Amino acid sequence: MTPGGTMRFTFTSISLLAGLVACGSAQAGLEGQSFSASYRVPTSDTAYLPASFTPSSFAVGAGVESLANVEDVTFISIDFSDTQLSLLLNTTLAQPSWSSAPFNGLVFDLTSPGPMRITGALVDAQTSMMGFDSSR
């Protein structure tokens, strides 16, 4: 829980192509919950200004909820379902690199009332994001 009373769900060190993070299936209940999205680096409290989201606030429903634009070179499609979050990353960079800062990634703040109800997370083994695995 953040000082302002919102709950935070965070993905760090997001790298290149695609990843799927699955929430625990029992009582996940993300459908209908509202979130705001931001990108943070070099700490989880520092907004990264060259990143924007369209829209920056959304309710979980059918289809893609938001699209992140990082420096006009990396784009992240954000698609929540009732039990999962899918992130699809695309970049125009031939040799992309990511900061080794203590924090570098997406932050989702729960803005609707009630608990987040996430019981666990895992990274899909089919991800092609170099360096992004269950240890992150």
Domain boundaries, the chain: 7-92+99-123
Contact 134, 19 (CB under 8 A): no
Q: How many whole angstroms separate alpha carbon 113 and alpha carbon 95?
A: 42
Q: How far apart are CA 1 and CA 71, in angstroms?
A: 29
Strands 74-80 and 57-59: unpaired
| pLDDT tens, residue by residue, 35-85 | 999 999 999 999 999 999 999 999 999 999 999 999 999 999 999 988 888
CA nearest neighbour of 105 among 21, 5, 1: 21
Mean pLDDT of the chain: 76
List pLDDT tens digits, range 123-133: 777 766 665 65
Each residue's pLDDT tens digit, 12-27: 333 323 333 444 444 4
Q: In this predicted structure, what is the pLDDT of residue 103? A: 87
